[in-house]
């Protein structure tokens, strides 16, 4: 990753994700909260990194963060140090309260890339997608007979 840059604009977590997704939609980028009084930081991939060599999952910031940034530092203990929170405000609150050291706010996973990866039978990075509203599990996996 390149050097962190301070993110300007409104510091609300949902606004930060929107800003990163809009202004950096054509590059690998995500926001990082935490690490003292610094404020929200933008992390982007350095231009000279040939990320396509990492394979089709490298389209995902979640995969890059886990596999190329955190695992080289934390090794097999990576999952012991990570938590996944779907609510940006809750993640920011946990960092602000000191319950967590840092939070990474990721852009939504692009649907065209989702379809491409899943269509090839590959698994997506852990927790890289979140769909809402969730369908009740029974409606998805059980055949319904009769009238509703």
User: Per-residue DSSP letters for 58-111?
Assistant: GG-HHHIIIIIIIHHHHGGGHHHH----S-HHHHHHHHHHTSSSEEEEPPPPPH
Q: Which residues of 23-49 are buried (b: 16+ CB within 10 A; e: fewer)?
A: ebeeebbbbbbbeeeeebbbbbbeeee
The pLDDT value recorded for residue 79 is 81
Task: Name the residue with higher pLDDT: 60 or 109.
Answer: 60
What average pLDDT is seen over the chain?
Answer: 80
The Cα–Cα gap between 103 and 71 comes to 16
**pLDDT of 134 above 70:** no
Spatial contact of 69 and 49, defined as CB atoms under 8 Å apart: no
pLDDT digits (tens, 9 = 90+) for 103-126: 988 887 777 887 888 888 877 776
* 130 or 92, greater pLDDT: 92
Range in 13-22, 32-41, 95-104 with the lowest mean pLDDT: 32-41
* Across 14-18, 62-66, 131-135, least confident range: 131-135
pLDDT at 147: 67
pLDDT over 90 at 133, yes or no:
no
Q: What confidence tens digit (pLDDT) does each residue in 71-112 have?
A: 999 998 888 888 888 888 898 889 888 888 889 888 877 778
Which two tokens mark 26? Answer: 């054509």
């Amino acid at each position: 990753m390149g050097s962190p840059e301070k993110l300007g604009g409104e510091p609300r977590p949902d606004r930060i994700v929107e800003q990163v997704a809009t202004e950096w939609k054509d590059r690998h980028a995500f926001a990082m909260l935490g690490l003292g009084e610094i404020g929200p930081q933008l992390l982007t991939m350095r231009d000279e990194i040939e990320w396509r060599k990492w394979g089709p999952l490298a389209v995902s910031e979640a995969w890059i963060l886990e596999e190329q940034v955190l695992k080289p530092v934390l090794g097999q203990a990576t999952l012991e140090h990570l938590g996944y929170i779907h609510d940006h405000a809750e993640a920011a609150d946990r960092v602000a309260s000191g319950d967590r050291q840092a939070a990474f706010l990721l852009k939504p996973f692009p649907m065209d890339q989702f379809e491409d990866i899943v269509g090839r039978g590959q698994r997506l990075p852990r927790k890289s997608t979140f769909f809402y509203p969730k369908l009740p599990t029974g409606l998805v996996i059980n055949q319904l007979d009769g009238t509703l």
